[in-house]
Amino acid sequence: MSSQLPELNAWIHTYASLTEADQVHWCDGSDEENGRLVKMMLDTGDLMALNPSSHPNCFLHRSSASDVARVEHLTFVCSKNREDAGPNNHWMDPAEAKAKMDALYKGCMKGRTLYVVPYCMGPIDSPLARCGVEITDSPYVVINMRLMTRMGAAALARIEREASFVKGVHSTGDLNPDRRFIMHFPEELGIQSFGSGYGGNALLGKKCHALRIASWQARQEGWLAEHMLILGVENPQGDTHYIAAAFPSACGKTNLAMLIPPEGYREAGWKIWTVGDDICWMRPGADGRLYAINPEAGYFGVAPGTSAKTNPNALAMLNDSAIFTNVAVTADNQPWWEGLPDGVPVKDWQGRDVDPANGPAAHPNSRFTVSAKRCPSYTAKAEDPQGVPLSAIVFGGRRESLVPLVFEARDWKHGVLVGAGMASETTAAATGAVGVVRRDSMAMKPFAGYNFGDYFAHWLSFDVAGAQLPKIFHVNWFRKNAAGKFLWPGFGDNMRVLEWMIQRVEGTASGRVTAIGTLPDVGELNRNGLALTDADLETLLAVDTLAWRTEVGAIADYLEEFGERTPQALFDELEKTAAALL
């Protein structure tokens, strides 16, 4: 099999020759093909079948112990001009990067099959979607890409029609960490990855294409590619508002995307619909509103901590047709990870007998891959070619003090500043000092494919005459009291904050204007059935003027790191905040 697109055939031939692959297989995405690959991996031991009674059609993959996470220090943006990559990225000269990768690829697929994986990021007939082709020697990558993207014959047909696609080359190589690189060539819409079989490094449609390359592409074409969940909030009258939200890791992104409202809300008729949990592509529509799609077709989620208490919708997806990576297993071959209340693991993520001396039974970054359609809160709107119209964009971080539970930005310009300055404090789970503030603009620090200064300017460019832009909010679920206890219950009760946001969008909540933005006024946050004292609510919604003056200075220092490319408009917005704090 080959393509009707000469450029694609020539590119495949080049890498089949360079890698010396034994054979080339063009993936069609069919059930038959997937079944054949699964059987082959079961025979080789690359997959292990899990309990067919409790977890039918579910499999476990164990990766190399040195290959369990993204490798940001080995991830490069190879733009022609170093300044275009910016200080937020590692940069390498494109010619140097290609020479390095060609040397690694030479002969790397001897004795292996080169799989050609055509895929579409987004609904197959969406004008917002973009396509790519990944070359890989990993059947594990193929079966995961089938779940995570619209992969196969339909994607190839679109690629042949458009004659444009992101070119991704991947080989697991010898899994040597010293020979592991992930290179991005944004001007050429190219990705090259070697030496890793781990998801974010090997499933090139995910972070590599959907964020690093797409963010560059989006800037050229007038849209945004963001590290955001998308959810729909349906009120008792049947109206649905769609919200996109960006959080750094360990801030509850997937939990919010699949939120189950408190009982009182459910009884009143409120519903949450999940469009996506990780990536959002948005573009202005003819009516001036921003319309968003989830470019992914599945979830590649962190298993530890996922439970009936934290995320019942996520757990409900995982008992059928899921792929697990680096979890532990029980005596009867059920998947297990820390956070599950039931089951006893007997084999850890490396297949060893469980021994506390070896650390957690499941790797802390162990994963599940599953189709988005298996989520109980899935909405068919996720396949809408035009996307869903956004009413609000939410930024959030993990701050023990300073930042209120929720506030609304003054306008779009101020909202971009809020996103640019968002930060989290380090926790005990990270190496180094605890409580250090780390900025992660729009939760895109590891993923923006170009200079953050230019990125902020691109965000600001959407504020034009006729635009009906979403309101921008900031949330902080993690504020603590003097005793170190979380003040806000989080999880399903975050619905109360979403309701207030919608009231602000609809103009039914007046709010309380402060120097940093608009906060809920007295009585505006629904506390029915919530054990939250007036004093705790006051702390959650407090604005410490003195501390915020320090924060404004810290944000200014951070923005200056990106030099003259940082838009003056952001410093002007900071000045407005500083003046209001006097």
Contact 113, 11 (CB under 8 A): no
The string of DSSP codes covering 300-341 is: EEE-TT-STTT-HHHHHHTTSS-EEES-EEETTS-EE-TT-S
Phi, psi dihedrals of residue 462, rounded to the nearest 5°: -80, -10
- In the chain, % helix, strand, coil (3-state, to 5) comes to 35, 25, 45
Decide: helix, strand or coil at residue 242.
strand
Helix or strand holding residue 502 (H, E): helix 495-506
In angstroms, the CA 166 to CA 159 distance is 10
Burial of 218 (0-12, 13-18, 19+ CB in 10 A): buried
The string of DSSP codes covering 544-580 is: -HHHHHHHHHHHHHHHHTTGGGS-HHHHHHHHHHHHH
251 catalytic per annotation: yes
CA atoms within 13 A on the CB side of 372: 31
Choice among 27, 120, 131, 251 that is catalytic: 251
In angstroms, the CA 527 to CA 340 distance is 30
In angstroms, the CA 479 to CA 166 distance is 42
Lookup: tokens for 108: 């790397």
In angstroms, the CA 566 to CA 151 distance is 38
Helix 545-560 vs helix 412-420: angle between axes, to the nearest 10 degrees?
80
Phi, psi dihedrals of residue 451, rounded to the nearest 5°: -60, 130
Decide: helix, strand or coil at residue 524.
coil
Q: Would you name the residues annotated as active-site residues? A: 251
